[in-house]
Structure 1
Amino acid sequence: MRLVLASASPARLSVLRAAGLDPVVRVSDVDEDALLAAHAAAPAAEKVTLLAGAKATTVARTCEDAGVVLVVGCDSMLHIDGELVGKPHSADVARERWQAMAGRTGELVTGHAVLRVVDGEIEQVAEGHAVTTVRFATPTDAELEAYLATGEPLAVAGSFTLDGLGGWFVDGIDGDPSNVIGISLPLVRRLLGSLGVSPTDLWTTRVS
């Protein structure tokens, strides 16, 4: 079996590699804004799961390899004040978000999709989502400006990271930490299991 990660996220790739897997990365060209607009009234968990499924499906349809390929797609967004927010893309938006969420809590919601592709055909699909509560610190104005200047919060869901520079400004979490980084190992294990696969079947790194 071969494993394909349908995501450009270096954080997701890092989590999987640290967990003994070495997926091939293939990035989809899903129009996320259009998909979200088409499902504007859907609950937060449904939206991120739809995005994850669309990414995984798009990549799976390009898999013409013989044999079995497992495609994993994910999408993360922060749910706070009843709003689902993704990547800010600009320092001004990231600043506004941090000013709103500092000292408060939000939910990092990640949709997951795992597809089993056999000889180029999608045969099985397993989907789900994971939610982790994040307790944000209150950075000083100088700290926030320094963080924004790094560019890191501009390209990540919710304008923060747990495993990078943003970790300084997270007081704690309730739930799965890997989900905050972008891919929930416990959930992926369950989804793989529903397809008859264990993550141990995919391990490429073993401790001697």
Structure 2
Amino acid sequence: MEKKKMKLVLASASPRRKELLERLGLDFSVQVSKVDEKITCSSPAEAVKELAVQKAEAVAEELCRRTEEEVLVIGADTVVVLEEKILGKPGGFEGACRMLRELSGRAHQVCTGVALVRANEGKIQETRCFSETTEVHVAMLSEKEIQSYAATGEPLDKAGAYGIQGRFAPYISGISGDYYNVVGLPLHALYQELKKTGGILEW
């Protein structure tokens, strides 16, 4: 009897993560986690792993209540870090301008935590997680450039008040590490982890 293929679920509302996962050519569904996220770690790299696990396990537990089929849930969380300080979403125009002034002419880090939670027979069987860090260099920004970019509205819902794949691209002077990690999902590292999970990749 042929074994059923494991179902893949992305526990994220981010359209960017959805687009990135599609680049691996995988069939998957999206189910957004409703967990009340809590950080207990002081290290940004550990904090994003903790949040990714919370999201993925919450979705896996919900799926376990509905099916006993084998599923693999991917959860992720990304933070922007400047001198050990986590920069969240700016919340408005003035907040975006303030963050952009802080980033101007400096290097910062983007950390993404990824969790893979495998569930089968109505319970969680395995949880794995990792984090990836990319260093991003921002060019010196004039006040006019800062205010013009903030006025587009693009940075208002983004951690660190910018999107590397959007209108902020001309202000990125360089990166060290995985570009896709800054977008929201470290594809190479995730691909390597998926290769360890039977029943997902077919090549």
TM-score, scaled relative to structure 1 = 0.87
Q: Is the 8 A contact 1:76 1:86 kept in 2?
A: no
Instruction: Look at both structures and tell me which one has the larger radius of gyration over its CA atoms.
Output: 2
Q: Is 1:87–1:156's contact at 8 Å kept on the other side of the alignment? A: yes
How far off is 1:197 after superposition?
A: 5.3
Aligned to 1:8: 13
SS at match of 1:95: helix
* 1:125 Cα offset (Å): 1.0
Listed as ranges, the gaps of 5+ residues in structure 1 are 204-208
SS at match of 1:19: coil
Q: Deviations over 1:143-179 (max 9, x none)?
A: 2222212221111121111211221221111001111
Amino acid at match of 1:124: E
What is aligned with 1:48? Answer: 48
Cα distance in 2 between the residues matched to 1:154 and 1:185: 25
* 3-state DSSP of counterpart to 2:97: helix
User: What is the aligned partner in structure 2 of residue 147 from structure 1?
Assistant: 149
Percent identity over paired residues = 36
Q: Among 141, 159, 162, which residue is 2:161 paired with?
A: 159
RMSD: 1.8
* Alignment check: 8 A CA contact 2:108 2:135 kept: yes
- Cα 1:126–1:197 change in 2 (3 A) is farther
CA deviation after TM superposition for structure 1 residue 141, in Å: 2.2
**Whose helix fraction is larger, Structure 1's or Structure 2's?**
1
Shifted more, 150-159 versus 49-58: the winner is 150-159
Q: Output the CA distance in 2 between the equivalents of 1:23 and 1:137.
A: 38
Q: How does 1:126-137 map to 2 (within 5 A)?
A: 126-137=128-139
Per-residue Cα deviation, 1:24-59 (whole angstroms, up to 9, x for no partner): 111112333xx12xx2x5211111110010011111
**Pairing partner for 2:36 from 31, 36, 51:** 31
Q: For 1:35-184, what aligned pairs fall within 5 Å after superposition?
A: 35-36=38-39, 39=40, 42-63=42-63, 64-184=66-186
- Displacement after TM superposition at 1:83 (Å): 0.5
TM-score (norm 2): 0.89
